[in-house]
Amino acid sequence: MSLENNATESLPGKPEPKGDGGWNRVHPASPFVRGWVALAAVGFFFGRDAFERMLQGRDFLDPNLSGRVPWLLAGGAVVLLLTVGGFILSWYFTRYQVAEGYVRVNTGFLFKQQRQARLDRVQAIDIVQPLLARIFGLAELKFEVADAGESAVRLAYLPLDQAKQLRATILARAAGVVSGPETTEEIPEAPEHVVLSVPPSRLIGSLLLSEQTIGILAGAAVVVVVSVFTQNQTLFLALIPGILGIGAAYWNSFNKGYNFTAAISPDGIRLRYGLLDTQAQTLPPGRIQALMVTQPPLWRIFGWYRIHVNVAGYGVSGSTEGAARTMLLPVGMKSDVLRMMSLVLPDPGVEDPERVFTAGLDGLGPAGAGSAPGDGFITTPRRARLLAPLGWRRNGFFATKTALLIRSGRWWHTLVMVPHQRTQSMALHQGPWARRFGVADLVLHTTAGPVSPRVFQAGVEQAVDLFDQQAARARAARKRQTSEQWLAQVAPQAPEVAATIPAQAAQPQQLADPTQPQTSPQQEDRHDG
């Protein structure tokens, strides 16, 4: 990728450029933190027999190997030196630079690799601390950029204070708090205001009442019934691997959701969580493309909900880490959900947002013909009730001035919210059965993630009207989109934090010039199948 600037522009919050053009090295302990498994493997291979003999009360060294002990020790020393030497070379040839509007990382001494990310394309910056890194006071920085399915750049590892300083500097520029390369002073980490936290007791309760618990109980009941009828007790042995896997899944969910805290700051929404491995995310709300609130059946007893989001740059990941990074709220009450939704969408576009969002979370349309009831949601027509006997009154959509709300699910309540300017493309889908009953689905395309916005089984006329109107709303929203400096819009929720924003950063930018060409939805297709 060619660079437009020739002069090196160094960001504040990092060491001053040296003779190597401003390149800096990570912490010397970084390769040992990353490769401790290799050291443990070497120690296990050469020390396993001696350790077992010591536990058995025998001689530390096998007398039959007395003549070969020096050679074994020499071989172990060589392997250890090669491993440590590889770590040292890995550290020496790993360098990073933040200059010219890019963050770059060079690695490798035999096979060299350079990764770089444009600072203006950075979607989010995470600080990750595995357990061993926490012991050494180190942290890893993950830079997420648009159109990347995985982290574009990872700096592992930096001292925790230096990692926070570097993140604060970059996010301050992204938020508009600091602008211009002439700024040289160190930028402190932006203040924050905690808006909610998840108690451990609620987290444990949510895991016990989750969907996987229902699956476990159903599977156990099937095994018991089959074993009773077949009188085959060996079926219980087949449950052991499943029990171990389920236990690991519960532990991962608890470990990732423990001590979950959400706060707001000038640079975005800050999420902190983790028991052994801690992670600190900063999500600029303007990077959130879609939001989904779900409520499993058993959670309705206590009024619990969870929130997932699509974030530009995070992509799709089936791992536990990927699921945790797209979790805006692991479990919370309705008040917590409304608070988080107000951060993502400060202007809901309706006069009574609590009533509308409550109808989206728990509402149920009347047994009408698909017209908008009192809560404003347009539901599936009565003629199509055979396609969704339980959910046709629940399925519906409501368009505010700023977002499209989509609700579905009679037992598993789901509410999806897509800001109008985040609609990238749309498609109408109608299968043979849907054509028979005069309904169609409208699919909205955003960035990849756990949220898949889809209006289920709307009347054909309403689906076509929504298709045309949503395209117009998306174009209009992009034209009037202001700065991503979102804190000015949510200042009443955190006045002590908003007071730290310079006056020039709090002023909204000019609206887009309507005479200039605007970006329209990439694709607006209608598919009949």
**pLDDT at residue 164 greater than cutoff 90:** no
Query: For a pLDDT cut of 70, what percent of the chain falls above it?
Result: 70
pTM of the model: 0.74
Q: Do 246 and 335 lie in a common domain?
A: no
Q: Name the residue with higher pLDDT: 175 or 446.
A: 446
**Top mean-pLDDT range of 34-38, 267-271, 331-335:** 331-335
Q: Do 246 and 358 lie in a common domain?
A: no
Q: Do 251 and 339 lie in a common domain?
A: no
pLDDT band at 367 (very low <50, low <70, confident <90, very high): low
User: Residue 230 belongs to what domain range?
Assistant: 199-257
Residue type, 415: L
Q: Do 139 and 207 lie in a common domain?
A: no
Q: Do 241 and 358 lie in a common domain?
A: no
Q: Do 174 and 203 lie in a common domain?
A: no
Q: Of 51-60, 113-122, 134-143, which range is least confident?
A: 51-60
HEC-encoded secondary structure of 460-481: HHHHHHHHHHHHHHHHHHHHCC
The whole-number pLDDT of residue 372 equals 53
CA distance 11 to 170: 8
Q: Tell which residue, 215, 216, 217, 238, has the closest CA to residue 227.
A: 238
Residue 342 domain flag: yes
> Residues 154, 105: contact at Cβ < 8 Å?
yes
**pLDDT at residue 503 greater than cutoff 90:** no
The whole-number pLDDT of residue 152 equals 63
Q: Of 70-79, 168-177, 179-188, 383-392, which range is least confident?
A: 179-188
Q: Name the residue with higher pLDDT: 475 or 267.
A: 475
The whole-number pLDDT of residue 39 equals 62
**pLDDT at residue 28 greater than cutoff 90:** no
CATH number of the domain enclosing 120: 2.30.29
DSSP string, 86-118: HHHHHHHT-EEEEETTEEEEEE-SSS-EEEEEE
Q: Name the residue with higher pLDDT: 183 or 437.
A: 437
Beta-carbon-side half-sphere exposure of residue 394 (alpha carbons within 13 Å)? 16
CA distance 225 to 240: 17
Residue 372 domain flag: yes
Kindly give, in sequence order, each residue whose CB lies less than 8 Å from that of residue 177, ignoring residues fewer than 6 positions away: 187, 190, 266, 267, 485, 501, 502, 505
CA distance 363 to 397: 11
**Top mean-pLDDT range of 169-178, 210-219, 226-235, 383-392:** 383-392
Q: Name the residue with higher pLDDT: 91 or 151.
A: 91
The whole-number pLDDT of residue 434 equals 93
Alpha-carbon separation of residue 280 from 121, 124, 177 (angstroms): 20, 11, 21
Residue 267 domain flag: no
The whole-number pLDDT of residue 1 equals 35
Provide mean pLDDT across the span 127-135: 86
Residue type, 326: T
**pLDDT at residue 492 greater than cutoff 90:** no
Last residue of a domain, which of 155, 182, 209?
A: 182
Chain center to CA of 281: 8
**pLDDT at residue 513 greater than cutoff 60:** no
Give tens-digit pLDDT for 316-356: 555 556 667 889 999 999 999 999 998 888 888 888 889 99
Residue 193 domain flag: no
Residue 11 domain flag: no
Residue 455 domain flag: yes
Provide mean pLDDT across the span 419-427: 92
The whole-number pLDDT of residue 89 equals 82
The whole-number pLDDT of residue 44 equals 64
Residue 268 domain flag: no
Alpha-carbon separation of residue 508 from 191, 345, 482 (angstroms): 21, 16, 6
Q: Do 211 and 110 lie in a common domain?
A: no
Take residue 221 and report the two structure tokens written for it. 């009941």
Residue 42 domain flag: yes
Last residue of a domain, which of 182, 213, 244?
A: 182
User: Rounded to 5 degrees, what are φ and ψ at 200?
Assistant: -60, -35
**pLDDT at residue 193 greater than cutoff 80:** yes
Last residue of a domain, which of 131, 149, 182?
A: 182
> Residues 270, 282: contact at Cβ < 8 Å?
yes
Q: Do 408 and 436 lie in a common domain?
A: yes
The whole-number pLDDT of residue 170 equals 75
**pLDDT at residue 260 greater than cutoff 50:** yes
Provide mean pLDDT across the span 100-117: 80
Q: Name the residue with higher pLDDT: 522 or 295.
A: 295
- Give the number of other Cβ atoms within 10 Å of residue 98's Cβ: 21
**pLDDT at residue 124 greater than cutoff 80:** no
Q: Tell which residue, 338, 371, 333, has the closest CA to residue 352.
A: 338
Q: Do 499 and 356 lie in a common domain?
A: yes
**pLDDT at residue 16 greater than cutoff 50:** no
Q: Do 169 and 208 lie in a common domain?
A: no
Q: Do 37 and 163 lie in a common domain?
A: yes
Q: Do 72 and 208 lie in a common domain?
A: no
Q: Name the residue with higher pLDDT: 466 or 512.
A: 466
pLDDT band at 59 (very low <50, low <70, confident <90, very high): low
Number of domain units in the chain = 3
The whole-number pLDDT of residue 12 equals 39
CA distance 78 to 389: 71
**pLDDT at residue 56 greater than cutoff 70:** no
Mean pLDDT (the chain, rounded): 76
